[in-house]
Structure 1
Amino acid sequence: MSNHVALPTVPDTGPDTAGAPVPVRIAAIAALGGLLFGFDSAVINGAVSAIESRFAVSSAVLGFAVASALLGAAGGAVLAGRIADRYGRLTTMQVAAAMFLVSALGTGFAFNVETLVLFRIVGGVGVGLASVIAPAYIAEISPARVRGRLGSLQQLAIVVGIFAALLVDYALAALAGGSREELWFGLEAWRWMFLSMTVPALVYGFLTLTIPESPRYLVAKGRIGEARGILGTLLGEQGIDLRIESIRATLGHERTPSLRDLRGPALGLLPIVWIGIGLSVFQQFVGINVIFYYSSILWQAVGFDENSSLVITVVTSVVNIATTLVAIAFVDRIGRRPLLIIGSAGMAVTLTTMAVVFATASTTVVDGVTTPHLTGLQGPIALIAANLFVVAFGMSWGPVVWVLLGEAFPNRIRAAALSLAAGAQWAANWVITVSFPAMKELSLGLSYGFYAVCAVLSLLFVLRWVKETKGRELEDMDAA
């Protein structure tokens, strides 16, 4: 997610700290917020079918229940910067951990779908806070020479969190003999899936007590002595006074960003802002979260049993981790734009393949619901195409969009533009998530056909409007 907290430009004139263990340890703890972000987002995957039957909800209500966390996330993301600037980065992390914990308990013991939605929203607020504060804090405590690598821990933590959630879902369902079956203490497996989030929430909350506050926040609050000690530990003793003065100078020039700064001639906004919004919307409209939120019921709908569906989902999350590592390795070598182009082309081909497979599959209609049945090679082809789609997305539009959003905006509008682009991404995520159950009942072929069209449009969008930012200084970005 985006970083709504303005960051200082702190010269790194000290020794090369690329191998220093302290910043790495601190950044890894902060990145656990991303792990909880991924865990909370994906844990519902294995519980979807059980929730549908336990509370006897319609597809529309089910879609809203799954997507409800995104509503909280939007609010949490908007509030994160203000909370962090007023109360501190560590306090914000601890509030996020507390909300994750409350959400885990509330959803695990939910007695109706309304309660489930309420606590999903609470967890979503934690997601929004963590998605903003973790990368902000990492950037503020990292030596310049390793800031990029340490910053990438956030994206890596998110996909690891998704994997962990899906693995837990599979293990619990396997132990119980199904997500609807009782496991321990009279509670069904799907409830334990949500309750499992208490473990990483408690670990995250505890570990935030072991890391220092951001030096930038301390300088802003006039706590210079504390900031000096932390900067010395993180960056070395040389040039501490220069760093503190640099932070002071940055703080002195900062002002609260306003949406008025984004006004321009292109339908009321600057062209670069529309490009950021377009990147955010296309990242979601290709349907990636359908894979991570609904894949278990998707594969069950086409003939796989629940156990096999969860295994497929876990394998897919491993693929996502591997391709994210590929993107981290190559984004500074071959550039952002080429990766997006390759990714869009790959997504268009794989999504079209899935659309054709589902559209040509035999179907049965029960109570007005059309269910496809994959026969012969259709199942393996759909499975391979789905995982290749994740490969194409994971090595391109997943991490690269966030790199571009952090680089492409000029300094004077970066915070406000990132806020608007992040809002557009949460909104697009919500639309896709809440609409899929109904679209699935209408036609999976049509659903994946729509995502394929969006992938093609994303390719045309990049070719026409997205410029390469590799190797360019942030100060050189033009708002025109």
Structure 2
Amino acid sequence: MADVRDEAVAVEGSSLKVVMIASVAAVGGFLFGFDTAVINGAVGALESTFQASDAAIGISVSSALLGSAAGAFMGGQLADRFGRTRTMVVASVLFSIGTVGSGVAFGLVDFSVWRLVGGIAVGIASVIAPAYIAEIAPAHLRGRLGSLQQLAIVTGIFAALLVDYGIASAAGGSALNPLWLGMPAWRWMLLSELPPAILYGIGALMIPESPRYLVAKHRDDKAREVLRSIIGQRAEAKVEEIRQSLSGEHTARFTDLRGRFGLLPIVWVGIGLSVFQQFVGINVIFYYSSVLWQAVGFSERSSLAITVITSVTNIVTTFIAIATVDRFGRKPLLIVGSVGMALTLGTMAYVFGTAGMDAAGKPVLEGTAGPIALVAANLYVFCFGMSWGPVVWVLLGEMFNNRIRGRALALAGSAQWVANFIVSSTFPALRTAGLGIAYGLYTAAAAASLLFVLLYIRETKGKELEAM
């Protein structure tokens, strides 16, 4: 009986440890969310400060996304060469540099450059966290722990929007008003990312390296030590499984991803998941929502408050995914999410497409149109948050085999950021052309995502990474 109790305690302890390790890695996701959302409260101020056009603002805000594409592309190579945890430290340093630079920028050009640097860090973090979590987590916990990446992202979004709201309120309701040290509030919004960026680097120095990376580098003893702290007596067998999956294989190269149609089918599926996650327009809600709600009549402070509420919805629904992804599987959640997003985005397309215009050419939501748009937007976030938000990260972390995981994730991650850039940089022009058109395009993408899932996604629930 004592042996059984000891074994139970060991299992409980190891599970707690792996949750804590995965949580530290997911701080990169927090910074990912924070960096991409903190710009929300500063968009209007940037337009006024730098007297920039919609197109110029769209490019400058989205410059971080180009950096993210580059960071995601190089992140897999860095991770395979130097290790997962060291690459996290590199991302932390770049986060810090980009944060300070964008916060003190003197013009739109150097602001864009520093956003690009921060974007590289975001891209690196976006591929390192899911890979590391998938490689450190036992199969029965992998879905839930993989969902921590999305939970961290949406928590970062919430924190950034809350900080934006708090700073704007402290400055009298406008990001243009001066705050501390005579600097306008929007600069402090951007500088607020520095403390978590530093903590991310410190945390990365305290967690163990991925056992699969260690075996690939012929450091079996260290890999065995890490695995023993997580899965106990099965560590030796797991090291052998990993060794067998890597045996006779050369160091991974991008040429290993080549297949019949240019790339291996599984890599195309990963790219498709990444692109559809962005083409449904989710980041429009978090990059431009304060400007969007101001365009339909809400004040700047009320618009920021609405965006904070929306981000809370995103967090709550991510917990639903965490609770269900290992029970119901990845594919069913994606199907439900695609259907829900198509319906809610279609509603928003209709509401904005049929809205009247004021003298300035902005849509006017009269009567029940305003509440319907708000409810539809939050239901859309709900549908995304319990499906495509977290599940894509889970699948990207686990769907590729050990040999190609780093490079395949890099390619899929780059595709995701390019798609994000396309959506985010084109939204200001689409907003001018008509919000009904914008949301109509996102509706079409959501409908197409349903067909993609039905045709190409295979269930990975409960499978060991060595079986992929």
Identify whether the pair has TM-score above 0.5, normalized to the shorter chain. Answer: yes
**Residues 418-440 of structure 1: per-residue CA shift (max 9 Å, x gap):** 43332221111110011001111
- Distance in 2 (CA, whole Å) between partners of 1:337 and 1:85 is 29
- Distance in 2 (CA, whole Å) between partners of 1:430 and 1:243 is 40
Counterpart for residue 186 of structure 1? 182
Counterpart for residue 366 of structure 2? 375
Shift of 1:411: 6.3
Q: Does 1:255 align with 2:250?
A: yes
User: In 2 relative to 1, CA 463–224 (structure 1 residues): closer, same or farther, beyond 3 Å?
Assistant: closer
User: In 2 relative to 1, CA 403–117 (structure 1 residues): closer, same or farther, beyond 3 Å?
Assistant: same
Shift of 1:173: 0.6
Counterpart for residue 89 of structure 1? 84
Counterpart for residue 162 of structure 1? 157
1:315-330 map, 5 Å: 315-330=309-324
User: In 2 relative to 1, CA 82–15 (structure 1 residues): closer, same or farther, beyond 3 Å?
Assistant: farther
Higher helix share: 2
Query: Which SS does the other structure have where 2:358 is aligned?
Result: strand
Counterpart for residue 448 of structure 1? 439
Asked whether the equivalents of residues 337 and 386 of structure 2 are also in contact (C-alpha less than 8 Å), the reply is yes
Q: Does 1:402 align with 2:393?
A: yes
- Distance in 2 (CA, whole Å) between partners of 1:332 and 1:240 is 23
TM-score by length of 1: 0.87
- Distance in 2 (CA, whole Å) between partners of 1:375 and 1:33 is 42
Counterpart for residue 4 of structure 2? none
Q: Cα RMSD over matched residues? A: 2.7
**Residues 135-157 of structure 1: per-residue CA shift (max 9 Å, x gap):** 33333444455344333322211
Asked whether the equivalents of residues 14 and 239 of structure 1 are also in contact (C-alpha less than 8 Å), the reply is no
5+ residue gaps, structure 2, are 1-6
- Distance in 2 (CA, whole Å) between partners of 1:14 and 1:150 is 20
- Distance in 2 (CA, whole Å) between partners of 1:406 and 1:27 is 13
User: In 2 relative to 1, CA 205–466 (structure 1 residues): closer, same or farther, beyond 3 Å?
Assistant: closer
Shift of 1:31: 1.5
- In the comparison of the two structures, how many residue pairs are matched? 460
Counterpart for residue 418 of structure 2? 427
5+ residue gaps, structure 1, are 1-12
Q: Does 1:439 align with 2:427?
A: no
Asked whether the equivalents of residues 18 and 146 of structure 1 are also in contact (C-alpha less than 8 Å), the reply is no
Asked whether the equivalents of residues 337 and 462 of structure 1 are also in contact (C-alpha less than 8 Å), the reply is yes
**Residues 67-115 of structure 1: per-residue CA shift (max 9 Å, x gap):** 1111111121122233233333332111111111111111111110111
Q: Does 1:132 align with 2:127?
A: yes
Asked whether the equivalents of residues 285 and 451 of structure 1 are also in contact (C-alpha less than 8 Å), the reply is yes
Counterpart for residue 97 of structure 2? 102
Question: Match for 1:440: what amino acid?
Answer: R
TM-score by length of 2: 0.89
- Distance in 2 (CA, whole Å) between partners of 1:276 and 1:227 is 28
User: In 2 relative to 1, CA 354–159 (structure 1 residues): closer, same or farther, beyond 3 Å?
Assistant: same
**Residues 355-402 of structure 1: per-residue CA shift (max 9 Å, x gap):** 121122221354xxx311222211111111110110111112212223
Which residue, 278, 287, 309 being the options, matches 1:284? 278
Counterpart for residue 48 of structure 2? 53
User: In 2 relative to 1, CA 418–198 (structure 1 residues): closer, same or farther, beyond 3 Å?
Assistant: closer
Counterpart for residue 116 of structure 1? 111
Counterpart for residue 200 of structure 1? 196
Question: Match for 1:382: what amino acid?
Answer: A
Asked whether the equivalents of residues 318 and 385 of structure 2 are also in contact (C-alpha less than 8 Å), the reply is yes
Counterpart for residue 9 of structure 1? none
